[in-house]
Amino acid sequence: MTETLDVPADADWEDWVDDRGWGDGLPTVAPTEDRVDAMLQGLPDGAAAGLAALPPSGLTPTLRSVAANAVMAGCVPGMLPVLLAALEAVSTPAYNLHGTLATTHPCAPMVLVSGSARAGFHGGGNCFGPGNRRNATLGRALSLVLLHVGGARPGTLDRSTQGSPAKYTFSFAESDESPWAGLPSRRGFDDGEPVVSVMAAEPPHNVNDHGSTTGDGILTTIAGTMAETGSNNVYVRGPHLLVLGPEHAATLHRDGWDPVSIREHLWKTARIPVEKVSPGNREQFVEWGVKPDGDAYTVSTGPEQLHVAVAGGAGKHSAWIPSFGGTELVSVRVRR
């Protein structure tokens, strides 16, 4: 996208965008000068410090180009610092932006908003779904920047075999009903700091457990959900995220569990028996340097790769979110 759009007065905005291969297929908001200016209002000093060249174009987004994409996505003024933090996070080498964009895997940039940055974002019921403008537009704005500035167009750089709905948008907040401190507190931040965490992720895999009345029982169900033969986390390894629903989290907390003990336990119990893996995959695992631990394969490389957060509303559901594998979960403080 250029800094100034010369749209003919008689042009239909949606047709004009579509003719240029812009957008994600959904309607967008025209980024007029007034709208972009409003999006840029109130930015702190150094707001552009985290902007870096994006693959494959090698272009570095400007604040104005990021703001224009935020407008197109439908963001409200005041969201730009959170979007800039998410963009900084995916630009770090550990995230492996080029690899996560070019893979045939269906991963999308997942954005988790924590601490004081959660204001206006939703971490309650249906937090992965519709109903909150900030949740819906943050992930979309990030994807549009990667598309328009980075050049990650489906069918060219984005080679995903099937893609996923998460590629439109995937952002949510941690719950304010968590019995534990937020995820950033286990990653070197003070509890309550405004932080976004990003990961190249699959859509959530639901964990349905209405029958277990103990923390041990819930973890048994979660371990079974995580032990998938088709997950990239088995052989490409990398991070994964467990999002506990508040009811499951409350039961686990009551029984003395915390995020550290939960991930240690799941590291030991979420195992995939060798006989459940096809012979062809076992051969490929050897080529990748992945060997079973005894008679079973592990999910990723160690308990530290499983991150734990709480989000959602009423109901005995949780979610496991695998990753592309060749990436890391990256957390960045929001500049206010």
Could you give the number of structural domains in the chain? Answer: 1
The domain of 286 spans 13-333
Give the pLDDT confidence of 155-213 residue by residue, as tens digits: 888 899 999 999 999 999 999 999 999 999 999 999 999 999 999 999 999 999 999 99
- Residue 187 in any domain: the answer is yes
| Residue matched to tokens 């998938």 | 228
Q: Beta strand pairing status for 240-244 and 317-321? A: antiparallel
Q: Domain for residue 8, yes or no? A: no
33 within a domain of the structure (yes/no): yes
Q: Could you tell me if residue 5 is inside a domain?
A: no
Phi-psi region of 294 (alpha: psi -120 to 50; beta: other; left: phi over 0): left
State how far the Cα of 247 lies from the Cα of 266, in Å rounded to an integer.
19
For residue range 205-242, list pLDDT tens digits in order: 999 999 999 999 999 999 999 999 999 999 999 999 99
Task: Tell me if 1 is assigned to some domain.
Answer: no
> Which tens digits make up the pLDDT trace of 96-118?
999 999 999 999 999 999 999 99
- Asked if the structure places residue 271 within a domain, the reply is yes
